[in-house]
Structure 1
Amino acid sequence: MTIEQVLTLVVLVAVVGALIWDKVRADVVALTGAAVLLMTGVVRPVEVQGAFASPAIIALASLFVIAYALELSGLLDRAIELAVAMCRRLGATGIWLMLGAIGLLSSFLNSTPIVVLGAPVVRDVAKTLGLPPKRYLMPLSYLTVLTGCCTLIGTSTNLLVDDMARVAGQPRFGMFEITPVGLPMALAGALYLFLFSGKLMGKSMTRPAPDAAPSEIDVPGAQIGNASLFAEPRPFQPVKAMIASAVFVGAIALAAGGIVPIAASAFAGAVLLILLRVISPDEAYGGLRPQILILIAGMVVIGIAMEESGLAADATDALVGSMRHVGPLTALIVLYALTMVLTELLSNATVAVLVTPIAVALGESLGVSPRPFLVAVMMAGSAAFATPFGYQTNVIVYQMGGYSYVDFVKVGLPLNLLTFVVAILAIRVFFPF
């Protein structure tokens, strides 16, 4: 191994260890690793600059601004008020319908602020109706994760995998290209949660939950950010809500139609909202959620170091070499399982950086399209259900609902296995080798 490979490996192991240890914020860990690689000369300043200006970062930052403009206009609060009124009329059925509506929003907007806004409402409505909040809070988190897998912009994982695959010479994904895989996963998961989640939790639902406000959430590795930004009630401003909605739909339509990349349309939309004074520059900065952007950028720098030093190529050759004599379907199953296990332990950005180059190399070495393997990484990279710390929305409901760790294992592990099977079947149908 060269000295650059040794340094990169040491940094990678240290970063992964720190993320598992979970005593330091994940964005700080990633930034520290990037700084060490920069200081030791493994990566150049221009490469670090490129990581912070990648299309995935631009798209995410712009979408955060648009989502925050929608929230400041009072549109989301108004939607929640209407949902509460529906729940009072329909009872438990209304709550499930509200969870479905929240999940639909999560297909296009970041799930964390949606859950921060929606979880207290779901909890309070359930209490008002004399129903256990635990029955609905965990499904709320899981549904937002599942529906986020339905579009390219549903999760930061999808955008990052798409960006890294582009760097590896693969064509970009369309806005709804992964929907034929994500939608069956979401529907199967929703049906499972509706039918079995309450039964699997059993007596746990009768234990009282703490009255935790969203602003009290503080888990270093969860990357929730300042939840109070999203928890404050906003008065409904129809004009601003209409403009923000039109800009959001326009940005999605332009990207979905292949007219411009999502990074370009979302960036233009965010700037337009500032020019139209729907959101002020200071408010736009406040909604950026830099901790997530820095985490992703830092992990991209580590990915660049792995590529430049040759460590990624050597590791990929070793893994791919062990699978040269298996069929593409077996390789797809192994890759999905590996990604799913890593996602339960590490951040989604870390997993995307580690596994995306392997997915591309695996497809190429087997003489088939890398596309199915990349879709598997997108799906498995977000499918973290078996622990309360695998995804940031899990942390929110974990604290608010007063769940035990075992509750997530009981409900989430079967959901992991179910979505695993559905995803593999859907990938085989819609993304042929």
Structure 2
Amino acid sequence: MFLVQLDVTVVNVALPHIGTALHSGLAGMQWVVDSYTVILAAFLLLGGVVGDRLGHRTVVLTGLGLFGVASLLCGLAPGTATLVGARALQGLAAALLLPSTLAVVNTTFPERAEQARALGIWAGVSALALPAGPLLGGVLVTAAGWRAVFLINLPVVAVALYLTQKLVSKDRPARGHRLDAIGAIGTAVVLTALVYCVITTGHAGVSSSTLWSALVAIGAAVALALWERRTPDPMLPPALLRKADFVGANVVAAIMNFVGIGAVFVITLYLQGVQHHDPLTAGAMLLPLFLPLAVCAPLTGRLAARYGPRPPMLGGLVLGAVGAAFLPLIGPDSSYLVLAPALLGIGLGMGLLTPSVVAAALQAGPPERPGLSSGVNNTARQAAGALGIAVFGAMVHDPSAPADFTSGLHLVGMLSVALWLIAAALTLLTVPRPAELRDRTGSHAE
């Protein structure tokens, strides 16, 4: 899990060196990052469903092996096109790994309280990768060059393969469900077109390619919906989308990443582009956001285990809204003391939210298909994170115009507060109370 999340951010620090070494322009460098993100978001749901069908231990081992091969290809890439293709292959491997790591936790710890604690650790490890990426990338590039950013994955993959084979028990694949190949292809097309549209709009604004990708996403979504309603074994059962608790948990997860990932992006631009801090200083200034996220997640797992996911979700959403309310107070020359409460509120909010919203989604989904539930949840979060970067990036404009940028940052803050509060209302309406959850668990056990 750490490896998958690390490769989202670790490459950013190496981009100037990659561009110089491979004689690549800005567009090529953007796709070194985005090819991973697009494929990861597009194939997460498929990865979860394949894990249910073939066994999640098997898919984790396959994903690790593929991730190692792709990392080697990245480290040996002679040109930009090869590197972009290898990064896309890394994204596919990550899409296999991410939902299956969550499903392995789900099946290894079937008891609700124990599972919630384990999910807290899973989320904390994930959160640690966010600040570690830029720091580790800077050390590796300085000490050994940009290729080390990718080659460092190889020993990690080797250890993970050995430990997975030794420690993770074989799980029983879900029988009676055929793999819905047309649904799988249709879902990948929808998500690829959607995330591509979002990312390219964020880079270059509305263009013919973004319009065409939007049309492809809409057309493929309509065709997919028609197919899923008529096929006997749909990849995403329509009945699941009529479950208020399942839909509510995943919409809240999407809002969380839309605001959280989008806010990190624009605050980083503010620190480096408006206040002209160097990358290492800016990374250190973001610690009030990242550290609570990493530290709180395991503790939140214990809260969710004892009280259910609803209370920590509500607490996280309120804290996130309070933190975002400080963003409209920031000006071009503001003291760090004005920014720090915003970072702390958003970090604490996401630290409470991440494990509890994942637990809520898994508890609401079909117990015999944890890969499907985790695939839907991870897809919602990854796609929403890409959308948040594009939307918030468009709202703040160019950091070289500080007054316009901070004016846009004020709008980002107000929109974030509104979205956090909408998510809180949705949590109240859809996520079961602790007593309801205990009653439901007892009835399932009987």
Q: Give the TM-score, by structure 1 length.
A: 0.30
Instruction: Please state which structure has a larger fraction of its residues in helix.
Output: 2
